[in-house]
Chains A and B, each alone.
Chain A
Amino acid sequence: MRAAVIVFPGSNCDRDMAVALRAAGADVSMVWHKDSDLPDGVDLIAVPGGFSFGDYLRCGAIAAQSPICKAVVAHAERGGYVLGVCNGFQVLTESGLLPGALMRNAELKFVCKTLDLKVETSSSGFTEGYDAGDVVAFPVAHHDGNYTADPETLRRLEGGDRIAFRYVENPNGSIADIAGILSANRRVLGMMPHPERAVDLGHGGTDGQALFRGLIGQLANA
C-alpha cells in the first residue's frame, strides 16, 4: 500500500504523518509542492498540518493553488483516498474537495490541547476501525479551526452521514461541533485534530492507530 505525504513550505506535521503511516504498514513517499506528478501507484495522499505559505491570504489558500494540488484533486476525482489534517483540512476546503470553510477560532485564541472527539460514523475507510459513538482523544493545535458551512451544506453533510468526528467540548466555535467531515464518496477526510499525534505510547495516547491501521488494511486488501 503506497502513500504520499505532500510537503509545502511551512508544513510541520509532515514527518509525524509519515511516521504514523509507516507504523501502520504503508510505503511512504514525501512529495514536494512544486512537483506536478504523484509517484506511480499511490493509494492514499496525506495533506499534513502546519502553516503552509505562512497562512498568507487565508490558511491553505496558496497551497491549494500549488502544482501538486492539481494532482491531488485529480487523484480524488478518480476515487482515490485523501486525508487532510489541520492545515491539510484547510487546503482541502480551499481546493474545493470538501465543502465549507475554516474560520478564525471564535475565541480568537490558538487552541493547543488534547480533546475528546466522538466518532460519528464507522462507515468509511478512515473510521471503520472505530464504532460509531466511540470517544477518542486526539490533540488539536490550531488558530483557524472554526468550521462553517451554509445551512444547505450542513443538511447535506448530516443527511449523508458525512460528519466523521465531533468535538465533545467545542474548542473553536465550529458549527454543529464538527471536527472532521467526509466527501460524498467517503474517500476524502478532512479533520482539524491530529490522529498522527496519537499513535505511540510516547504521545500519551494511541487512539489514532485505528484510523491508520483500518485505512491501510483496507487499501492493502483492495
Chain B
Amino acid sequence: MKARVHVMLKNGVLDPQGEAVRHALGNLGFDGVSGVRQGKVIELDLEDGTSEDTITDMCEKLLANTVIESYQVELL
C-alpha cells in the first residue's frame, strides 16, 4: 500500500517562500493571486495493512514539525 503525506506550514505561520512565489507570479503577469503557500508531499511505500495510526505517529515524530507545520494523511 501507499500513503501520501501533505505537510504545510500552519495557518498563521508566515510562509516567506510562498510569498516569494506569489511575487514572482505577479511579475509574470498573473494578476489576482492573493496568496501562495508552499508545502511538501511525502509518499510512503508501506506494508499492506499499516494502520493510519502508525502513519500519524510517523508524522508526529518525524515527518512534520507540529510546532509550525500541519499534516494530512492520504491513503492511496
| Chain A interface residues (CB < 8 Å from chain B) | 57-58, 61, 65, 93-94, 99-101, 103-108, 146, 148-150, 173
Contact = CB atoms under 8 A, between A and B. Distances in A.
B63 A57 contact: yes
A194 B37 CA distance: 32
B65 interface: yes
9 contacts: A57-B62, A65-B61, A94-B65, A101-B67, A101-B68, A103-B16, A103-B68, A104-B17, A148-B13
Interface of B: 13-14, 16-17, 20, 61-63, 65, 67-68
A150 B65 CA distance: 13
Contacts of A106: 14, 16
Contacts, number: 34
A101 B16 contact: no
Contacts of A148: 13, 67-68
Contact of A101 (B14, B62, B65): B65
A149 to B, nearest CB: 7
A108 B62 contact: no
Contacts of A94: 65
Contacts of B67: 93, 99-101, 148-150
Contacts of B65: 58, 61, 94, 101
A148 B68 CA distance: 8
The winner among B13, B61, B63, B65 for most chain A CB atoms within 10 A is: B65
A108 B18 CA distance: 11
Contacts of B62: 57, 61, 65
A66 B68 CA distance: 22
B14 A108 contact: no
